[in-house]
A and B are shown apart, each in its own frame.
Chain A
């Protein structure tokens, strides 16, 4: 994986209106590999907690015989978190409540394809 790929991924997703942070995370360790986040977004905490959530959801999906979990979206009062798996990596996007979610999900999906 080259720095260029990471830069492209971060750039692609962070351009979506309303996105406050994008992180590529080591899916095993739950620590950021690269990140581009606004002030006020705690990148290490987001990486750790999003990884834990994704792993739990993946286990729940497998336990429910839904198969492999590709992505999950957390909706909260103040914003959204989208997490998508890319092998040993996870892509995490943090977005404001008024972000363009459809576009964000599309760009996350494309970015994940770049990461594979």
Chain B
């Protein structure tokens, strides 16, 4: 997805994401496409954090999709990790322009059911945006793999550098 398209889309995504955050009471929300490009975010304090989570979300989505395919589970709907204090919710959804992924982090102020409920509304609203009515050109396998690997390598490099 080209930068000007991403910028225009990011503007249009602000309101649905704001409403999702407010109603579902999540602490952090991130919307990325399947190659890990950040389209909208709420609650992150550091730029690196956003990019890291976006790349990992795209990788997790790809892994979950492959696992579901291998096991005959067909399409996966969401991943929920219940931590001690914080929960992670990761869910893909379709738009005419391709698959997007929501990453949400919530605590005891929300619940899995509440996040699922408002995620469905968010997915409907986002899929109906005019900017997402045409397929986007960059989701071929080679580009996907290249961008994902670059993102993951960047994360791993920084993780190793921070240990030194």
User: What separation, in Å, do the CA atoms of A48 and B112 have in the docked complex?
Assistant: 8
Contacts of B25 in A (CB 8 A): 52
Contacts of B114 in A (CB 8 A): 30, 48-49, 51-52
Chain B interface bracket (under 10, 10 to 19, 20 to 34, 35 or more): under 10
Give residues of chain A (9-60) contacting chain B, Cβ–Cβ below 8 Å.
25-26, 28-31, 44-45, 47-49, 51-52, 55
Chain B residues in contact with chain A, CB under 8 A? 25, 82, 110-114, 116-117
Pick the 8 closest A-B CB pairs, nearest first. Answer: A30-B113, A48-B113, A30-B111, A29-B112, A48-B117, A31-B113, A48-B114, A45-B117
Contacts of A28 in B (CB 8 A): 111
Residue of A nearest to B121 (CB): A45
Contacts of A44 in B (CB 8 A): 113, 116-117
Chain A residues in contact with chain B, CB under 8 A? 25-26, 28-31, 44-45, 47-49, 51-52, 55
Interface centre among B25, B116, B117 (most CB of A within 10 A): B117
Contacts of B116 in A (CB 8 A): 31, 44, 48
Q: How many A-B residue pairs have CB under 8 A?
A: 35
Cβ contact within 8 Å between A51 and B111? yes
User: What separation, in Å, do the CA atoms of A64 and B120 have in the docked complex?
Assistant: 35
Cβ contact within 8 Å between A49 and B117? yes
Contacts of B82 in A (CB 8 A): 29
What are 15 sample pairs from A and B whose C-beta atoms fall under 8 A apart? Answer: A26-B113, A29-B112, A29-B113, A30-B111, A30-B113, A30-B114, A31-B111, A31-B113, A44-B116, A44-B117, A48-B114, A48-B116, A52-B25, A52-B111, A52-B114
Minimum C-beta distance from B87 to chain A (A)? 9
User: What separation, in Å, do the CA atoms of A14 and B25 have in the docked complex?
Assistant: 32
User: What separation, in Å, do the CA atoms of A4 and B114 have in the docked complex?
Assistant: 28
User: What separation, in Å, do the CA atoms of A25 and B117 have in the docked complex?
Assistant: 14
Contacts of B111 in A (CB 8 A): 28-31, 48, 51-52, 55
Minimum C-beta distance from A51 to chain B (A)? 6
